[in-house]
Amino acid sequence: MTSELVINATREESRVALLEGGQVVELYIERKRGASLVGNIYKGKIIKILPGMQSAFVDIGLEKAAFLYVADIMTEMEEYYTAFLDTEAEKLELYPKAAHMEKALSIEEIVQEGQELSVQVSKDPIGTKSARVTSYITLPGRYIVLMPNVEHVGISRRIEDEESRARLKAMATEIKPKGFGLIVRTASEDATIDEIKKDLEFLMLLWDNIQKKKEKMSAPCLIYSDLDLVFRSVRDFMGQDVERLVIDSPEEYERVKEFAGNYFPRLLDRIELYEGREPIFDAFGIELDISRALGRRVWLKSGGYIVIDQTEAMTVIDVNTGKFVGKESLEDTILKTNLEAVKEIAYQIRLRNLGGIIIIDFIDMEKLENREKVFSAFVDAMKKDRAKNTIYNLSELGIIQMTRKRVRESLGRVLCEQCPYCEGKGFVKSARTVAYEIFRKLKKMNLPHNTTAMIKANPAVADLLSDEERHGIEDVENIYGIKVIVKEDVNLHQENYEITVL
């Protein structure tokens, strides 16, 4: 299926939409304020070690210290081995005791407070969590990814043809510099050896410049900033299946043309400037998809629907038959709804960039063969996803558990903020519940006879107290011998109220 890359670039933000068959499947937004840090390389300083979590906090010059886990630290032993040995097998064969010792090292034995080291951001700050960093540096090019100090050759999992994989691995092994590793990207499948070598030369030069800058500067400091969203999109998405790139900014169009001309000349004829009067995202129908992606409920064509709830720890997706009643048996109706939901869920996961733990609650199916059909269909639908994901088998209750690599905030968290009224709960106490709380509060106060109490409440609560629940006020007045005045205050939250003794 051919794809298109549509870019809306303004002074304030850049938005990139990947379209497949005219439908938005992935959306990326980068604002000038709060741009992504993923891929940036810093010279940092260890400021705190947490033995109980086998991790450390690294000052890289941001407001919050970055989080470094023990498994993300390259040790001196690894650097020593990779400088002289070609394979992991050789490493284990020649230095089995040392290799075993290295695996058993705790974080206190690897790094110390005050130590300086180069780290790369692997995950942006998400919610209350700080950025996550690794000392395993990677430099992505268009065709390959360079991995300094790691002797390894890997092939993109999206290249499925075994003959192509074998050819590319042999080529990468041949051109790989000593002491470096290479990952062959999907775009390499139709690239020439000269193009891949040129990509490698550029990345090696880039690494040399990073090393020189690292020597000159003191921690904490930024020593390399990854490409901005527009350039990353050209580098990462403009594969053989992307028919064209359309961008609406003349200035960015010229930058992209220059960038592609210098590094990827074969892409030049696929880059177009959009000159229509209608905003580019409206012209391609993308704005409607964005609005739909922010909703909690997504309707299916049959009349069924899915509900998506994103929490701090995980995302839960629920499938419902809704208005769909089917034509045959109940089992058949449920199966059709689940199969239709599979495609929409896979689409929404990519579009919304949902990450971490995802729980999908399909409608219960009695037949094992139907459960297997739904599971297989979901696995197939998720194969198009660029993000790494692990899917666990469908349970007897119709639940699929999966994890999806989370590098950046989801679309909803980029575009939205917590509701200040409900504080992110998604609901507030009803006006009647608050009214009854006020009755209990008045009784608990045990006010003296002939006292006047003034209640200030949100208009919805005040109206209820003055009308439908007036009998409750009268009961309090008669029983306790007090007078109650109700006054509305538009500035009060529906759940809040004030009782003042006059």
Q: pLDDT tens digit string along 319-338?
A: 998 887 767 788 888 999 99
Query: What is the C-alpha to C-alpha distance for residues 9 and 251, in angstroms, rounded to an integer?
Result: 9
Band of the pLDDT at 265, cuts 50, 70, 90?
confident
Query: What is the C-alpha to C-alpha distance for residues 335 and 328, in angstroms, rounded to an integer?
Result: 11
How much is the pLDDT for 1?
65
How much is the pLDDT for 247?
95
Cβ partners under 8 Å of residue 389, min gap 6: 382, 402, 403, 404, 405
> DSSP per residue over 273-315, as a string?
E---SS-HHHHTTHHHHHHHHT-SEEE-TTS-EEEEEE-SSEE
Q: pLDDT tens digit string along 75-91?
A: 544 543 344 333 444 33
How much is the pLDDT for 128?
78
Hey, which bits of 51-151 come out as E strands?
55-59, 66-69, 116-123, 132-134, 139-140, 144-148
**Would you state the structure tokens that stand for residue 272, as one six-digit string?**
């177009």
Cβ partners under 8 Å of residue 179, min gap 6: 82, 83, 148, 149, 151
Phi and psi at residue 126, to the nearest 5°: -125, 120
Query: What is the C-alpha to C-alpha distance for residues 153 and 176, in angstroms, rounded to an integer?
Result: 8
Amino acid code (one letter) for 413: R
pTM above 0.85, yes or no: no
Q: pLDDT tens digit string along 423-432?
A: 777 889 999 9
Q: pLDDT tens digit string along 375-432?
A: 999 999 998 888 889 999 988 888 999 999 887 888 888 888 888 888 777 889 999 9
Band of the pLDDT at 347, cuts 50, 70, 90?
very high
How much is the pLDDT for 43?
93
Query: What is the C-alpha to C-alpha distance for residues 472 and 484, in angstroms, rounded to an integer?
Result: 11
Cβ atoms within 10 Å, residue 61: 14
Query: What is the C-alpha to C-alpha distance for residues 256 and 210, in angstroms, rounded to an integer?
Result: 24
Q: pLDDT tens digit string along 170-210?
A: 999 999 999 899 999 888 887 888 888 988 999 999 999 99
C-beta of residue 85 within 8 angstroms of C-beta of residue 151: yes
Query: What is the C-alpha to C-alpha distance for residues 142 and 184, in angstroms, rounded to an integer?
Result: 9
Among the listed residues 224, 235, 304, the one whose alpha carbon sits nearest the alpha carbon of residue 267:
235
How much is the pLDDT for 74?
74
Among the listed residues 339, 328, 327, 393, the one whose alpha carbon sits nearest the alpha carbon of residue 363:
339
Phi and psi at residue 92, to the nearest 5°: -75, -30
Mean of per-residue pLDDT scores for the chain: 87
**Count of H-run helices and E-run strands, the chain:** 16, 24
Per-residue pLDDT for 278 more than 90?
Answer: yes
Residue 424, CA distances (Å) to 83, 421, 428, 481 in order: 52, 8, 10, 41
Cβ atoms within 10 Å, residue 127: 7
How much is the pLDDT for 240?
62
Euclidean distance between the first and final Cα of the chain, in Å? Answer: 74
How much is the pLDDT for 500?
92
Determine which of 160-169, 268-277, 337-346 has the lowest per-residue pLDDT on average: 160-169
